[in-house]
């Protein structure tokens, strides 16, 4: 079987990461360990994961003309991603994420988009050939919403599978967001999309309500509970894998990348969600975003651990 062809249209950031005992409260000063600069960004993380999982992966995005931009480009290329459509924006800074990881492996993130905010619908139009030639287009919400909407429009016109990782949503979502084949939020993102309080929102109910908004399927990431799968066959759970988390920063990105690759390979949605849970579990066992993206062998090892 030929390798899946995945086009990722999305963000690329440099993650500045430090580990802390706990996330500080307002006006509190806490001590962190040495700060690390680690390539990240939801789009770039997912592109790295798709490539490591065996897909022929291209990345459409923007970096600044700074040292971070060069390093981010080089890192993606080293992961096996085609970066020909990763352009440099003169005079712009590359995207940066400030990440605190606490003792339980949970994270708090502040993102400054930089050049990612300059990825426009016209840029996607200029690369519409890539959309038409791909087996799937994978998107996130760290780029302008109008760019996401235009990409989905082109994918629908070309008959290309469109998968949207619905993070991070901001405010009222545009209806164009739901014009995808597979929508994959986490619990907090699903609640935001539906205007609900995440503390009181049920994952199964949210998945069903999001399905009613237009996507052909919803796969909701529910952290240690696994994932909820919703489509015309109903709503059901894909069980989790038990691990000791080190850093959950990019677990959702590993999940969505693996989900996309498996669907393109012909897996059922339930089987794809199971593999995606394994990919997300593996990512939690490593520090940093792109360094934690799994290979096919890594995912297979997690799947075997279930037996």
Question: What token pair was written down for 21?
Answer: 């005992």
The three-class DSSP label of residue 203 is: helix
DSSP state of 212: T
The answer to whether residues 67 and 38 touch, using CB atoms and an 8 Å cutoff, is no
Closest by CA position to 254, among listed 305, 218, 202, 291: 291
Residues paired with residue 217 on neighbouring β-strands, in sequence order: 182
Closest by CA position to 226, among listed 270, 189, 192, 179: 270
Give the distance from CA 235 to its chain's centroid: 22
DSSP state of 213: T
- For 244, half-sphere exposure in the C-beta direction (CA atoms, 13 angstrom radius) is 1
The burial of 242, by beta-carbon neighbours within 10 Å (0-12 exposed, 13-18 middle, 19 or more buried), is given as exposed
The burial of 267, by beta-carbon neighbours within 10 Å (0-12 exposed, 13-18 middle, 19 or more buried), is given as middle
Spell out the long-range contacts of 222-227 with Cβ–Cβ below 8 A and sequence spacing 24 or more.
222/186, 222/187, 223/186, 223/187, 223/248, 226/277, 227/255, 227/273, 227/276, 227/277
Q: Which of 123, 181, 247, 253 is catalytic?
A: 253
Question: What token pair was written down for 40?
Answer: 């990240």
Q: Is 253 a catalytic residue?
A: yes
The three-class DSSP label of residue 18 is: strand
Query: What's the Rg (C-alpha) of the chain?
Result: 18
The set of catalytic residues is 253
């Amino acid at each position: 079987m030929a390798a899946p062809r995945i086009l990722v249209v999305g963000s690329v950031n440099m993650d500045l990461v430090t580990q802390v005992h706990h996330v500080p409260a307002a006006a509190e000063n806490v001590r962190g360990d040495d700060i690390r600069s680690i390539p990240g960004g939801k789009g770039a993380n997912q592109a790295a994961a798709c490539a490591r999982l065996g897909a022929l992966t291209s990345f459409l995005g923007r970096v600044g003309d700074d040292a971070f931009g060069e390093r981010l480009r080089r890192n993606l290329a080293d992961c096996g991603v085609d970066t020909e459509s990763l352009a440099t924006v003169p005079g712009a800074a590359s995207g940066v994420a400030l990440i605190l990881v606490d003792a339980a492996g949970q994270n708090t993130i502040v993102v400054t988009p930089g050049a990612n905010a300059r990825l426009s619908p016209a840029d996607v139009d200029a690369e519409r050939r890539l959309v038409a030639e791909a087996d799937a287009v994978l998107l996130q919400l760290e780029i302008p919403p109008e760019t996401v909407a235009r990409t989905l429009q082109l994918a629908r016109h070309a008959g290309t599978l469109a998968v949207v990782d619905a993070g991070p949503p901001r405010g009222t979502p545009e209806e164009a967001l739901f014009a995808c084949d597979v929508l994959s939020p986490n619990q907090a993102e699903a609640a935001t999309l539906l205007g609900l309080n995440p503390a009181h929102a049920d994952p199964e109910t949210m998945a069903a309500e999001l399905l009613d908004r237009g996507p052909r399927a919803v796969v909701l990431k529910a952290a240690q509970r696994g994932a909820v799968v919703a489509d015309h066959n109903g709503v059901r759970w894909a069980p989790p894998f038990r691990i000791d988390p080190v850093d959950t920063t990019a677990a959702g990105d590993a999940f969505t990348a693996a989900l996309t690759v498996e669907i393109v390979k012909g897996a059922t949605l339930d089987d794809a969600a199971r593999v995606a849970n394994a990919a997300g579990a593996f990512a939690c066992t490593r520090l940093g975003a792109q360094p934690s993206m799994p290979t096919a062998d890594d995912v297979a090892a997690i799947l075997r651990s279930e037996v």
